[in-house]
Amino acid sequence: MKEIMEILNNLDWSPLFISIKTGIVATIISFFLGIYAARKVIKAKPWVKAVADGILTLPMVLPPTVVGFFLLLLFGKNSMLGAWLMEHGIPVVFSQTGMVIASAVVSFPLLYRTARGAFEQMDKTLVYAGQTLGLGNGTIFFKIVCPNCLPVILAGVILAFTRAMGEFGATIMLAGNIPNKTQTAAIAIYTAMQSGNRELAFQWALLIVGMSVFFIVLMNVITGRKGGRTWH
């Protein structure tokens, strides 16, 4: 026990704090964009839905380094958007802003797909009942659809957060590896291995595994409650 406490006291916690902070901000962005996109896609025409779903899901199936490469092309100083942001004092490359953008992009599909699945599987008679009562689409969405889909959406939020917190490839491509600024826990493992410090890499790996198990159990508890109400 004393050895564990000594390891924890000597560990530089800044990568973990950076990961958590980035994960929270990226998840908030993904939450609102994912809910909005899911709501719009399920109402679209079949061919529009197919194309939009493919584009919105693409970051989930592409290698993170490929996502980071395209983000670097989009936000680099040689691009129109990157140059415009630089002129307005908003650097993206090698910055914490870039970390948030990269994490939000790779975590967005998880929340979008989860929310869309929840909306599509919801009992439509509840929506029809709201329409019969004269409720508007906005009221039906926020008062009926969201409360009924909340457990599944919360599970999506947890998945998106863990994905954003553990992002490596896109983050290191866009934001780099700057200690105390853009070095996340995942990047800290890579840095430790590159420097030959296997012990430090192992410590970070155990910490991330422990946190991941916690969030997976939490997600199962949330979805399990929803499942219990559905099947029994």
List the pLDDT tens digit at each of the 232 positions of the chain: 666 666 667 777 899 999 999 999 999 999 999 999 999 998 888 889 999 999 999 999 999 999 999 999 999 888 999 889 988 888 899 999 999 999 999 999 999 999 999 998 888 888 888 888 888 888 888 888 888 888 889 989 999 999 999 899 999 999 999 988 999 999 999 999 999 999 889 988 988 898 888 888 888 887 776 544 443 3
pLDDT given for residue 151 in this prediction: 87
pLDDT given for residue 228 in this prediction: 44
232 occurs within a structural domain: no
61 occurs within a structural domain: yes
199 occurs within a structural domain: yes
The answer to whether the pTM exceeds 0.85 is yes
The CATH number linked to 70 is 1.10.3720.10
Beta strands, E only, the chain: none
231 occurs within a structural domain: no
Q: Identify the DSSP state of 133.
A: T
165 occurs within a structural domain: yes
Domain encompassing residue 168: 2-226
Q: Identify the DSSP state of 168.
A: -
10 occurs within a structural domain: yes
pLDDT given for residue 7 in this prediction: 63
Domain count of the fold of the chain: 1
pLDDT given for residue 127 in this prediction: 85
